[in-house]
Amino acid sequence: MDAISRLVRLAHLEGTLDTRCLFTGRTAVSHPDLPAGEVPFHLVLEGECSLELVDRTVQLVAGDIVLLSRGQAHTVHSGAGTEPGILRQNGAAFTTAQAVGSGDLLDLFCGHYTFRPGAGDILFATLPEVVHVNLGAQASEHARALTALMRYEADNEGHGTAVILSSLCDVLLAMALRHSPQRHPTDRAPWTAIDDMRIQTAIDALVHDPGHEWTIAELAEIAAMSRATFIRHFTRGTGMSVGVFLTKVRMMIAADLLTNTDQSIGSIAATVGFSSESSFGRVFRLTTATTPARFRRETARRRQSRGERPDDKLPGG
């Protein structure tokens, strides 16, 4: 399994399609901050709109998906003029909001991803605040097939529609993460979109053997680069130093082991490359704002409150 797939699975993501909006008038729909463990996304099937954030406005056209990695509040604007749309809502698997007015049609999917604490928090913290990509331009054939299937399920609600749409949302996320270019001067492309196979090879090595005592020289050799060239390309591609990236990977894997295994904290520390439990605990606390023991207890309590058995695992575990 490649590194990106493994790390995304560690986050135990679950995609939900909340609303399909069909707007033909002037509209402005506000979305509040989401709670911890949730990040919103929007996918434009047809038409265009703008997404207003505190520090910027993102223009969206057909084929665009935007993911807000910090769950930040925003407003979606569409249409022009003075005539507002008239909203109505219906649907079982998700809500459909339709506006009747004059102007061009906007067909928009709005949803969110839910993830477990720990690995999911760390994964999204490594991504830009705004991930914006046009799938039509980046992966046109596959994107058209995906959005066509999503639209079909939305138009023909039946048994299993909710779970089908959830699975398609997961596919949508994977496509966005691996095709995302830079869209704003203050943003960087997410490290998941690195197209330098030499750096990808080094990242795969880190993820698949987190307990190894990696050195820059070893990784540079794997990437077939000099030390200086490797450091420069790695930092530019990931937005992080090698040490910071490796620490985040190790903490994601540790969070998963704390959640899904009975391994002792000392054993987990060794698995992810720490020589002592105390040094592991210090780094884990700095990364997640909690101790390994408290994280394990709180995660178990939340799972029990949801009715999960201790050995239950979400898909991808």
- Other C-beta atoms lying within 10 Å of the C-beta of residue 279: 11
Per-residue exposure over 241-262, b if at least 16 CB sit within 10 Å of its own CB, e if not: ebeebbbbbbbbbbbbbbbbee
- Per-residue pLDDT at 245: 95
- Per-residue pLDDT at 140: 61
Q: Let me know: does 68 contact 132? Beta carbons within 8 Å.
A: no
3-state secondary structure of 76: strand
Hey, which residues does 49 pair with through a beta bridge? 60
Q: The CATH number of the domain where 196 resides is what?
A: 1.10.10.60
Report the domain count for the chain: 2
- Per-residue pLDDT at 79: 79
Q: What is the mean pLDDT of residues 148-174?
A: 84
Q: Tell whether 313 is covered by a domain.
A: no
For 92, phi then psi, to 5°, come to: -100, -50
Q: Please, what is the angle between helix 161-179 and helix 3-10, to 10°?
A: 130
% of the chain with per-residue pLDDT over 90: 47
Containing structural domain, residue 14: 3-188
Final residue of a structural domain among 188, 209, 226 = 188
- Give 89's pLDDT tier (boundaries 50, 70, 90): very low
- Per-residue pLDDT at 153: 83
Residue 1: is its pLDDT beyond 90?
no
Q: pLDDT by residue (tens digit) across 15-63?
A: 988 888 888 778 888 999 999 899 999 999 888 999 999 989 999 998 8
Residue 181: is its pLDDT beyond 80?
no
Q: The CATH number of the domain where 131 resides is what?
A: 2.60.120.10
Amino acid at 55: D
Final residue of a structural domain among 188, 207, 241 = 188
Q: What is the mean pLDDT of residues 78-89?
A: 58
pTM for the full model?
A: 0.82
Final residue of a structural domain among 188, 204, 235 = 188
Of 285 and 104, the structure prediction assigns the larger pLDDT to: 285
Q: What is the mean pLDDT of the chain?
A: 84
Q: What is the mean pLDDT of residues 173-193?
A: 72
Distance CA 127, CA 13 (A): 15
64-68/130-134 β-pairing: antiparallel
- Per-residue pLDDT at 302: 79
Q: What is the mean pLDDT of residues 181-207?
A: 80
Q: Let me know: does 18 contact 94? Beta carbons within 8 Å.
A: yes
Q: Of 232, 59, 195, whose CA–CA distance to 130 is shortest? A: 59
Q: pLDDT by residue (tens digit) across 228-256?
A: 999 999 999 888 999 999 999 999 999 99
Q: Of 205, 198, 204, whose CA–CA distance to 231 is shortest? A: 198
Q: pLDDT by residue (tens digit) across 113-138?
A: 999 888 999 999 999 899 998 886 55
Q: 121 and 59: one domain? A: yes
